[in-house]
Structures are given as structure tokens and as C-alpha cells.
Chain A
Amino acid sequence: MSGGVVHVRGLRKRYGDREVVRGVDLDVRPGEIVALLGPNGAGKTTIVEILTGFRSRTAGDVRVLGVDPQTAGTAWRERVGVVLQESQPDPGLTVHECLSLYAGYYRAPRTPGEIAELVGLADCLQMGTEQLSGGQRRRLDIGLALIGGPELLFLDEPTTGFDPKARRDAWETIDGLRRLGTTIVLTTHVMDEAERLADRIAVVVDGAVVSEGTLETIGGRDRRAHEISFTLPTGRRVSMRSTKPLADVRTLADWAIARGIDLPDLEVRRPALEDVYLALAGSPDTTDTKQA
């Protein structure tokens, strides 16, 4: 028994002879926001569906809030909120009615007004769900998952198909949950989203976690070479990789000052998360192409 909110070891899921989850380990600690980042079809949604008890698993050990989701009952559902990847709002109801309907499912729910405030729908309580914009619908989804006051929230692709404004709105809402201390597991194929929201990222490719860590350490980001670039007075652009950027910049500066040259556009850049992610996510694709 580990103290983690989510504890997964050797999780596998097979459909026929196709294995879509291939030995995943995952730990989520209380209060953390963890992102499963990966391309479409990597198995992220399947993992979440197993963790939320919607799907059986082929092998592995799974504990969510100390309970096996496959056999978890009502008491466990009181403590877990789920925002599905694709779901329409409940038809024919207002936002307030929707929230009240779901509130009725829980033993000690929050009030619809409180939740509407939290997800930024306080002005839309009397609106029919069909009248809501895409971003507002998503926030209602999040609100419905929060009305029971869950300790743990699953968000499956919370902003897929959103315009930038709606995406930013949803991010702010999710950010707000951090203050409530809700533990969150989210899936996304958008790197910005993981970077913006997550404390920790697990990159999922082809049904396996290929790298896991914080924004700083993921994919060995902290150990990868920095890029130093500048333009010489001759107009030539120089770019070099460095594993000890501070010392190298000093050498460069000494060299330039000795010659009376200025390097006005000198730039030292850490490897972007995007580069790290593409390197991690891209590799199996390349193998596939080679095989094909």
C-alpha cells in the first residue's frame, strides 16, 4: 500500500492481439497535477478509462485512492470526479438545473452557485445548456465533475477542439482548482497545456510511458545541452551547443571584449519542452516509417 492517490504498476490492456497499453507505471501524490502527454492514439484515454473504472485491464496493479477501480463502489465514486473527453451537456436543462441534478447524486455536494462561481458560469446559471459556447460547456463539464467535492479529478483532453480564448479560459479554471488542493490527472496532446498546468508530466507514446518528470527534468531536459547563439560583426550567425553554458559564455565574452567586438543578440536558450517532447514522441514514428 503506497501513500499515493494513484498507484499503477505494470498496467496492460489488450484488444485481441493489439496491445494498447504496454506496461505503464504511474504514481500521483496528493495535491499534484499530473499530465499524461502524448500523441493521439497513444493510449492515454484507455489508461484514464481504466483508472476511472470504465474499462477492465488485461494485467497490472491499479489503486486509485487505495481502491481497485474495477471493483470500486458508490463510496469511491463520491471521491472521484471525471471529465470525459467527449460529452454533450444534459439536454433541455439550464446550467443551474444540470448542477442541481448532479448535486443530487452525492451525499454531501457543494451548491450549484458555489460551483458556477468556481468555473466562471455564475452569469449563465439560467441559460439552457444548448446555448452555451464550447468553452462554457467544458467549464460546465468540469463543474459537474466537481459538484461532489472530489479529492481526485480526471480530465481527459480538457481543451481539445477549442479556440485559443476558450482554451485559456479552461486553463484558468483548472489552475483555480490547484488552490482547492484537488489532485488532478489530465491527458493532453497539446504540449503548452501540459507545460502550463502540470506539476509533473508523463510522456505516453505507443501505450508506454517513455519519460516522466517535472517540467525541469523531463526527458533529461536539465542535462541536455543549451544553445548559445550570436551574430558576428561580419553578419555570420553562429550557434553552438553547450553543456556548461555559464563557463562557455564567459570564454566567449572574454574573447569578444579582447577584440573590441559587441555581440548584441547573444542568446542562451534552454532546450524547449517542445524539442524534448518531439524527440520523445517522434522516435516510434520514425521506427514505424522505417519498418513500413
Chain B
Amino acid sequence: MFHGSTSIVVIAVVVIARFGLGRGLKAVRVPRRERATDDTTAAPSGGHGSVGLVLHQARYDLWTLARNAQARTATVMLPLLLLVLFLGMWGSDRVAGAPASTFYVPGLVALSVIASSFTNLVISVVTQRESGVLKRRRATPVPAWVLIGGRALTAIAVSLTMATALVAIGWIGFGVALPAEAVPAVVLSAVAGSLCFCVLAYAVATLIGSAEAAQPTVQAVMLPLYLASGIFIPNASLPSWLRQLASVFPVERLSDAMHQPYSPAAHGLPIAWTDLGVMAVWAAAGLAVALRRFSWLPGPGRTA
């Protein structure tokens, strides 16, 4: 009963967030940065060092993300909404002898890392590639790794900010404490997960041919994985074949790596090395695919 109603709420929220809220939120645009038209404040930042150039790129990528209603909804609103909803409605239920709230917080931290580092990144890379934005940037002297590094840094920064916010809201608002000795494990998992999913995003972007296909494709793949990976439903309640299947994928691994530090049974430094190892293998595979297939040019040009 508990799990059934959870799934219904999840699906309802996803649908609302995707179709309803996203549109409504366009009215609440983040104001474009006010800037004097004189060029003293915006003196062209030529002569950047490498690190400076990555930060330069990341800053603009962050504005692009913040001003996109769909991206804001998926990376910021949805995880917050789910957290408040789940904790508010079922936080005091018991899951495997512990309060359900200690199950939901780490699961939603994993979800928010994936939303920023993977889902949103795939959509943004495919859209910018197909609309010629990436090609135009590549026609300038900016090195490829700066464009990738800047965008990935944006994704990682948003992931970690959201992870921090969710942990804090869970703790302060709903009393889901994170033992001090478990903090390094959560931070490490969030950083590792974020890096792994960024690499996978660049790999998956090579498999999607049009901007229109990006969002539905990614969501069709991710929703079943979320449901099977102990994010919405504790995976102890899933059939064992499904649990085993899910454990192949990095979603379940990140989810597990987040759950372990929160587990009442955890002690010492609860770092889930196996999970991190599996994510590293996925990242390596993703890197191989991205290096072989990634293109800066829109669709038809890719046959070059």
C-alpha cells in the first residue's frame, strides 16, 4: 500500500513537473543580469588562463541553465518538491525498521545529482549541438576541453548545491540527521556520481539525433531506472531479478552509495567502494564512447 501510493505520487509529480509546472514557471523568469551598457564592467575577458577560461564558460552555462524553465524545473524544483512531498506524507512510516525519511533523503540526493549531471546535460548538449551553437563555438580559438569542462563544471556545481540543499532540508526540516563521520562518504559519492553521469551524458548525447528526441528518450530510460533503483521504492521490496538487473546500472549504484552513509547500521567511514567502482567502470565505458563518437556538428554534418 505504502509503495503503491508512492509510485502514483511520483508519476503524478513527474507529469505535473514536465507538462504543467514547466510552463507555469516561465512567468517567473530569473531576471537577466542587469548590466551597464558601457563596457567597463564587461571588459572582454581576453587573455584568460586555462582555468579562468573554464570558469568563464561555466559562468555563462550556468546563466543559460538558470534561465531555462524546463531545466530549472527538472534540476531544482522537482527534487525539492519530491523531498517535501515524500517526507511530509510518509516520512514517519517505517521502512525496514527505520523511518522512511532516512530512506527518501539519500535517494532524492542521488536523483538530483543525476537530474543535473545527466538528464539536463544530455538535453542541453544535444540541443546546442543540433542548433549549431557548439559548432559556432568550435569555430573560435576556444579549446574543446574548455567547452566540455565548463559545461560539466556547471552540472557538477548544480548537483552538489542541490545535494547540499536536500541534505540540509532533510536534516533541519525533517530531522534526518547525517552523522558527522558519514559526511565524507556522501560528499565523495555525490562528486563521483556527478562526474560519472557527466561522462555518460556526453556518451549518450552521441546516440540521440535530434533536440526533440532528447528529453523523451532520456526520460523514458531514466524513469524505470529510478523506480528500480531504490530511489522512490526501497529495493528490498522488489523481486530479486529486478534488483539484480538494476544493480548493473549506475543509477542503482549511486542510489546505494548515498543510502549507505544514512543507514542506521552504518559505522566507521561508510564509503560504498563497490558502488563507486561500478560507476567508474561505467564512466570509463562512457568516455570510450564519447571519445569515439562525439561530434560538434549538427546531424547531417556528422557523416564527415
Name B135-155 residues within 8 Å CB distance of A: 135-143
B67 at the interface (CB under 8 A from A): yes
User: In whole Å, how far is B229's beta carbon from the nearest beta carbon of chain A?
Assistant: 31
**Interchain CB contact under 8 A, B304 and A56:** yes
User: What separation, in Å, do the CA atoms of A129 and B43 have in the docked complex?
Assistant: 20
**Interchain CB contact under 8 A, A87 and B47:** no
Q: Could you count the A-B residue pairs with CB atoms below 8 Å apart for me: how many are there?
A: 128
What 1/0 mask marks residues of chain A from 225 to 241 whose CB sits below 8 Å from any chain B CB? Answer: 00000000000000000
**Interchain CB contact under 8 A, A107 and B132:** no
Between A105, A110, A141, A144, the greatest number of chain B beta carbons within 10 A of the residue's beta carbon is seen for: A105
Q: Chain B residues near A56: list those with CB within 8 A.
A: 304
**Interchain CB contact under 8 A, B46 and A104:** yes
The one of B57, B141, B142, B297 in contact with A54, judged by C-beta atoms closer than 8 angstroms, is: B297
Q: Chain B residues near A128: list those with CB within 8 A.
A: 32, 67
**Interchain CB contact under 8 A, A91 and B128:** yes
Q: Nearest B residue to A86 by beta-carbon distance? A: B132
Name B119-143 residues within 8 Å CB distance of A: 127-128, 131-133, 135-143
**Interchain CB contact under 8 A, A15 and B132:** no
Name A149-200 residues within 8 Å CB distance of B: none
**Interchain CB contact under 8 A, A88 and B44:** no
**Interchain CB contact under 8 A, A87 and B132:** yes
Secondary structure of the A side of the interface?
loop
**Interchain CB contact under 8 A, B140 and A126:** no
Kindly state the interface size class of chain B when it binds its partner.
35 or more
Decide yes or no: A74 and B64 within 8 Å by CB, A100-B42, A112-B39 being known contacts: no
A55 at the interface (CB under 8 A from B): yes
Interface residue stretch chosen among A4-12, A76-84, A216-224, A268-276:
A76-84
Q: Chain B residues near A114: list those with CB within 8 A.
A: 39
**Interchain CB contact under 8 A, A96 and B37:** yes
User: What separation, in Å, do the CA atoms of A137 and B37 have in the docked complex?
Assistant: 19
Q: Chain A residues near B143: list those with CB within 8 A.
A: 74
The one of B46, B64, B141 in contact with A77, judged by C-beta atoms closer than 8 angstroms, is: B141
**Interchain CB contact under 8 A, B68 and A105:** no
Decide yes or no: A105 and B141 within 8 Å by CB, A87-B132, A111-B44, A112-B44 being known contacts: yes
- Taking Cβ atoms with an 8 Å cutoff, the residues of A that contact B are 15, 49, 52, 54-56, 74-75, 77-78, 80-82, 84, 86-94, 96-97, 100-114, 125-126, 128, 141, 144-145, 147-148
Besides A87-B132, A103-B44, A107-B141, 15 new A-B residue pairs in contact (Cβ under 8 A), listed by A number? A49-B304, A74-B141, A77-B139, A82-B139, A86-B132, A91-B64, A92-B63, A92-B64, A104-B46, A105-B140, A106-B46, A113-B39, A126-B32, A126-B37, A148-B140
List the 6 closest A-B pairs by CB distance, nearest first. Answer: A87-B132, A103-B44, A88-B131, A92-B64, A92-B67, A82-B139
